[in-house]
Amino acid sequence: MADLRVQGPGPVRRGFGLVAAMVAMFAVPMAVTLHTVRVSAVVDVAAEPNPSPFGYTVSLLLFVVPIVAIAFWFVPLDGVKISKKAFWWTIGLLFPLGAALDFFFAHLFLTFPNPKATLGVKAPALGGGVPVEEYLFYFLGFVAILLVYIWLDEYWLSAYTVPGEERVNFTKLLRFHPQSVALGVVLVGAAVFYKWVIAREAGFPGYFTFLVAGALVPSAALYPSARAVVNWRAMSLTLFILVLTSALWEATLAVPYGWWGYQPRQMMGLGVTAWDGLPIEAVTVWLAVTFTTVMVYEVLKRWKASGLSMRAALMGV
């Protein structure tokens, strides 16, 4: 049987571009269609004292159930091998990023207008605290995304997995990627231009800037080493699963029912009227998190597979 895995430097080099094209071919016509909506059809639930009791808390099952199913059923059943050290290093590095978003910036970027959708337990954060569900959201989210990708990579789409011997063939893992820096500058500049010139709104697109930095700062150092070993088919399917989850979670439930919301001054000003004005950042966060999680995991997996010290693997010395 012919080897179906992508071979050669060409397909690997355009892996991210293919994923972006796959997203665009669905996202662009959807965006054009949604742009035709001028009046939101979302029902105002403000008059109802408790429209979704513990809704945010229960919705965390959208992460918990896949985690349990993959970790305790699919992985043992299918004999999937997980690099546990790379897995927990990835979670240990990325969860603080999500926690920092809540601790330092939640009072600037987010709102939580319906406390009855949570357990009512406040977790520490600047500006008065956030629902404890927020920290659980980021921890469970990173774990779920990574487990989905690993299972797809090692089992469901294993024909496209990069062999182990190719992972350890490197001189150093930290390699500067100027295109990531340039893309970040362009994206933030475009967001500022849209908010100030087109939308003509006060404020600064701080949330979008944070998301771009969270994705492209690691990319500026890691993408050249991750590009050759990422299973781009597994990543693209992971991305589509997360975007579908976002459509259910944020557009259908969270924003309309007040589980969380977004502060307009810190948003770009580009929202989806049909989804109760859901800002574009709500979708961008899933793209950024998936990309960063997969990239960091694959680089750490290369390091662990090499048997080298961290300094030798990262710096080549």
Q: What is the model's pLDDT at position 316? A: 82
Q: What is the model's pLDDT at position 51? A: 84
The residues, ordered by sequence, that sit 6+ positions from 277 with a Cβ below 8 Å of its Cβ are 40, 255, 271
- pLDDT above 70 (res 240): yes
User: Exposed e or buried b for every residue in 226-242, given b needs 16+ CB within 10 A?
Assistant: bbbbbbbbbbbbbbebb
DSSP 254-287: ITTTTSSEE-GGGS-S-EEGGGTTEETHHHHHHH
Neighbouring C-beta atoms of residue 41, cutoff 10 Å: 9
- pLDDT above 80 (res 8): no
- As given in the structure block, the two tokens for residue 205 are 């697109």
Comparing 242 with 30, the larger pLDDT belongs to 242
Q: Mean pLDDT throughout 265-282?
A: 90
> What is the reported pTM?
0.86
Q: Which residue has the tokens 């680089």?
A: 299
Q: What is the model's pLDDT at position 49? A: 79
Comparing 249 with 7, the larger pLDDT belongs to 249
Q: What is the pLDDT of residues 84-125, one digit of tens each?
A: 999 999 999 999 999 999 999 999 999 999 999 999 999 999
DSSP 82: -
Which stretches within the chain are classed as H helix?
9-13, 15-35, 55-59, 61-69, 75-78, 84-100, 106-109, 132-151, 164-167, 178-193, 206-227, 232-246, 281-306, 310-315
Q: What is the model's pLDDT at position 44? A: 66
Confidence of residue 1 (pLDDT cuts 50, 70, 90): very low
Q: Which helix (H) or strand (E) holds 123?
A: strand 122-123
Nearest by Cα to 145 from 261, 27, 234: 234
Confidence of residue 7 (pLDDT cuts 50, 70, 90): very low
